[in-house]
Structure 1
Amino acid sequence: MRPAGSVPGREQPGEPRTPVTVVGVGADGWHGLPEASRAALRAAEVVVGGGARQLALLPEDEVRAERVAWPSPLRPAVPRVLAAHAGRRIAVLASGDPMFHGVGRALAETVGAERLRVLPHPSSVSYACARLGWPLEDTGTVSLVGRDPDTLTAALHDGRRLLVLSADAATPARVAALLRERGYGPSALRVLEQLGHPTRERLTPAAPADGWDAPPGDPLNIVAVECRRAPDAPRLGAVPGLPDDAYEHDGQLTKRYVRAATLAALAPAPGELLWDVGGGSGSVGIEWMRTHRRCRAISVERDPVRADRIERNAAALGVPGLRVVRAAAPDGLAGLPVPDAVFIGGGLTAPGLLDACWDALPAGGRLVANTVTLESEALLADRYRRHGGELVRLAVSHAVPVGGFTGWRQAMPVTQWSVTK
């Protein structure tokens, strides 16, 4: 007898290894499936799908399996649904390519890739690029399914082509509103509905976001965006060192050139987690997350006004997933996930802070700390002697008017210690 809570693919010793088959299906339904996919669905004892609409794509005289709709939210339900039908031949119906923003990822993480048989169908992105004549490899993709619309902001760059995966029929209007708000009102939008369906496929004519007034259409849609920045909109590049005026701040901001050097020392990589301790305006954590969509950051800030400001900055700059912890460090660090890197932008003299950050890092983790005070500089010099790394002083001067001439005005030099544990 199978132990309670087990799922196909995570069998106990001696149990049969039952694969889970994942079948991608398009808007053309059963008639668009290749024979291998049809055979897998005919052979299934249970077919799990995204809802009544998706399950209805299968003709009852061809697929006689029990039909089960995924509950919401889907991700935590995956192990439970699979366990409920353990020992039976399970087929999962997925939209398009199951491994592209689809249920395939959750299934692979649950049962293991070796127990998964995936039969993909062309994704909506492939169909959209085919209809638009856009090279797939040069087209960006942003999913707004279950995600904050502000996520789109980080992908906006003048001249870039984007495909936005819609959550529902209202998504195109939300996209148009966000483009207007972020200075991309001249961008051209098209909505592609029911891609692949023999009779219901529809492409709306291109229209600028500034004048978008199309009523909601079919919920199964994708939004194509040709990004065009308004002449008076700020230009936000793809590398660290955004202009200081891109942030709402009260002066507690790691300035542009020091920030760029700080991010270079932190060296973010996809999937890594940063602790931004003493968040201020959140600039370092925000630009860490902007380097790659899988980068994560936690900003620790004790001032509630600044903490709220960090959240606003994160949303405005396209990384609403930045987590803000409203607490003083080091106490506020307790229980946080293990970081890959830590940045300390303030509060270095707080008792135990530097030790707590150092102790939290695993081997190979990076720590970067900045200061402008002699007292904190002495702490960093001591740690440099003990742990090595690199101790540098960053000095930036700006040209300013001096009477009828021009001279240099130097900002306070910043001492930076960076080290790999």
Structure 2
Amino acid sequence: MTPAPQGPPSAVSVIGIGADGWRGLAEPSRTALRRAEVLIGGPRQLGLLPSECAGERVAWPSPLRPAVPRLLAAHAGRRIAVLAGGDPMFYGVGRVLAEQVDALNVLPHPSSVSYAAARLGWPLEDVEVVTLMGRPTARLAAALHDGRRLLVLSADATTPHEVAALLRDRGFGPSRMRVLEQLGGDRERTTDETTADDWARTQRSGDPLNIVAVACRRAPGALRLGAVPGLPDEAYEHDGQLTKKHIRAATLGALAPAPGELLWDIGGGSGSIAVEWMRTHPSCRAVTVERDPVRAERIRRNAERLGVPGLRIVTGAAPAALTGLPTPDAVFVGGGLTAPGLLDTCWAALPLGGRLVANTVTLESEALLADAHRRHGGDLVRLAVAHAVPVGRFTGWRQAMPVTQWAVHKTDNPTRS
């Protein structure tokens, strides 16, 4: 018996296909599909191909990502064509395949986003795209800003209703919505424009292949959330354990998040540092460690409400709870500084170039930060904020507790930050 070929094929073609099916494909895409010995795609996409595409048809199993290496190995040595919706490299299967195959031949089709922008007359560079395909609807909240235009990639026919409900809940009920279905196909349809407030009353369930267009409008009196760290304290549910907005903004400035980076937020409290780290860019990640289960659940609610439901929450006490966590790019210690070995554990976990920021209001923890500053360098500062309050018929300053902050970059020179 001849053993099955091992390893991925030397080349795979990825063909973008739209709702217009075979007739919408350019000749190079048609040729690749005719020549393919194996055709892999979703059942709907495979159903768009004519009989002249004679290759073996294989439907993607669910979940898709873990199945990719197995399917490629099973058909190694054969000409494979993978069908993808629209542009395979835009939130498509092309990304997964590029991780597995060295020679990837991508033949794109206009994406639903391109079609939607064309139908609406929206310049694509001025539009933010949010995908809810396999992702929680709550992540849309981070993109809500008055006057912005959003194109939301839907998971199915229920997504527009979920989007409208989220807009209403987050204070964006006046936002204008339209749903564009089956873009580029014979059954293309665009709903009449309505507000998120009126959506449930005026709209019915539509086609599962759709994209939601949102022109964001904030309701009068709704809390305004900016695009930089330092959100209003009122944005958070908390029990008093909250890094206040002025200190929070300074802390995030010292942490200096960059796209794709991972933060450890130790002593999460209400989760504000981790939440605002993740809001700086969709690819930023964070793990928050909180020993109190009640506070950990509160962090989860804050993360979901503020648009970063991907925040990972570890319930446990540091440093023990840090074991096994992925290597951080930055660490923030907002609580538990006096736990034996905590600072040293965090320092050891950081790679060269990583950042560590620790805040405290107690003399005991301040002494630990002074010692760490002596050993590792960095900046040791005291942050003080005062608020104007009534004093009889006049106004005076009320001083908040000063915060001592140590911020350091880990380099190969321990005397420099």
The reply to whether TM is greater than 0.5 is yes
- Counterpart of 2:381 in structure 1 is 392
Is 2:187 the counterpart of 1:200? yes
Is 2:75 the counterpart of 1:85? yes
Pairing 1:35-74 to 2, within 5 Å after superposition: 35-50=27-42, 52-60=43-51, 62-74=52-64
Is 2:154 the counterpart of 1:166? yes
- Counterpart of 2:414 in structure 1 is none
Task: Note if contact 2:5-2:74 (Cα within 8 Å) is conserved in structure 1.
Answer: no
Cα deviation for residue 4 of structure 1 reads 7.0
One-letter identity of the residue aligned with 1:289: M
Residues 65-84 of structure 1 show CA distances to partners (whole Å, capped at 9, x for unaligned) of 00001100001111011111
Cα deviation for residue 54 of structure 1 reads 1.1
Find the residue that maps to 1:407 and give its secondary structure. Answer: strand
Is 2:368 the counterpart of 1:379? yes
Query: Take 2:7 and 2:351, find their aligned partners in 1: how far apart are those partners?
Result: 32
Pairing 1:195-344 to 2, within 5 Å after superposition: 195-197=183-185, 199-213=186-200, 214-344=203-333
Task: Note if contact 2:16-2:86 (Cα within 8 Å) is conserved in structure 1.
Answer: yes
- Counterpart of 1:145 in structure 2 is 133
Residues 12-39 of structure 1 show CA distances to partners (whole Å, capped at 9, x for unaligned) of xxxxxx2110000000000000000000
Is 2:24 the counterpart of 1:32? yes
One-letter identity of the residue aligned with 2:44: R
Cα deviation for residue 155 of structure 1 reads 0.3
Task: Note if contact 1:5-1:80 (Cα within 8 Å) is conserved in structure 2.
Answer: no
Query: Take 2:3 and 2:227, find their aligned partners in 1: how far apart are those partners?
Result: 51
Task: Note if contact 2:5-2:77 (Cα within 8 Å) is conserved in structure 1.
Answer: no
Cα deviation for residue 7 of structure 1 reads 1.6
Cα deviation for residue 374 of structure 1 reads 0.8
Residues 58-97 of structure 1 show CA distances to partners (whole Å, capped at 9, x for unaligned) of 001x200000011000011110111110110000000000
Query: Take 2:4 and 2:302, find their aligned partners in 1: how far apart are those partners?
Result: 49
User: Where in structure 1 do 4 or more consecutive aligned residues deviate above 3 Å?
Assistant: 1-5
Cα deviation for residue 215 of structure 1 reads 1.3
- Counterpart of 1:410 in structure 2 is 399
- Counterpart of 2:120 in structure 1 is 132
- Counterpart of 1:15 in structure 2 is none
Residues 342-368 of structure 1 show CA distances to partners (whole Å, capped at 9, x for unaligned) of 000011000011111111111111000
**Number of positions where the alignment pairs a residue of Structure 1 with one of Structure 2:** 407
One-letter identity of the residue aligned with 2:49: L
Cα deviation for residue 294 of structure 1 reads 0.2
One-letter identity of the residue aligned with 2:8: V
One-letter identity of the residue aligned with 2:345: A
Find the residue that maps to 2:197 and give its secondary structure. Answer: helix
Percent of aligned pairs sharing the same letter: 75
- Counterpart of 1:368 in structure 2 is 357
Structure 1-normalised TM-score? 0.96
Residues 283-330 of structure 1 show CA distances to partners (whole Å, capped at 9, x for unaligned) of 000000000000000000000000000000000000000000000000
Task: Note if contact 2:319-2:341 (Cα within 8 Å) is conserved in structure 1.
Answer: yes
Query: Take 1:283 and 1:2, find their aligned partners in 2: how far apart are those partners?
Result: 56
One-letter identity of the residue aligned with 1:288: W
One-letter identity of the residue aligned with 1:153: A
Find the residue that maps to 1:217 and give its secondary structure. Answer: coil
Query: Take 2:372 and 2:161, find their aligned partners in 1: how far apart are those partners?
Result: 53
Query: Take 1:344 and 1:370, find their aligned partners in 2: how far apart are those partners?
Result: 7
One-letter identity of the residue aligned with 2:376: H
Query: Take 1:110 and 1:296, find their aligned partners in 2: how far apart are those partners?
Result: 24
Name structure 2 gaps, 5 residues minimum: 411-417
One-letter identity of the residue aligned with 1:20: V
Task: Note if contact 2:287-2:312 (Cα within 8 Å) is conserved in structure 1.
Answer: yes
Structure 2-normalised TM-score? 0.96
One-letter identity of the residue aligned with 1:7: P
Query: Take 1:208 and 1:27, find their aligned partners in 2: how far apart are those partners?
Result: 27
Q: Residue 106 of structure 1 is aligned with which of 93, 96, 110?
A: 96
Find the residue that maps to 1:210 and give its secondary structure. Answer: coil
Query: Take 1:156 and 1:97, find their aligned partners in 2: how far apart are those partners?
Result: 26
Query: Take 1:385 and 1:282, find their aligned partners in 2: how far apart are those partners?
Result: 29
Query: Take 2:4 and 2:25, find their aligned partners in 1: how far apart are those partners?
Result: 36
Query: Take 1:120 and 1:31, find their aligned partners in 2: how far apart are those partners?
Result: 15
Find the residue that maps to 2:281 and give its secondary structure. Answer: coil
Query: Take 1:26 and 1:398, find their aligned partners in 2: how far apart are those partners?
Result: 58
Query: Take 1:185 and 1:44, find their aligned partners in 2: how far apart are those partners?
Result: 49
Q: Residue 75 of structure 1 is aligned with which of 61, 65, 78?
A: 65
Change (3 A) 1:34 1:296: same
Task: Note if contact 1:22-1:94 (Cα within 8 Å) is conserved in structure 2.
Answer: yes
Query: Take 1:44 and 1:85, find their aligned partners in 2: how far apart are those partners?
Result: 11
Find the residue that maps to 1:315 and give its secondary structure. Answer: helix
Name structure 1 gaps, 5 residues minimum: 9-17
Cα deviation for residue 202 of structure 1 reads 0.2
- Counterpart of 1:11 in structure 2 is none
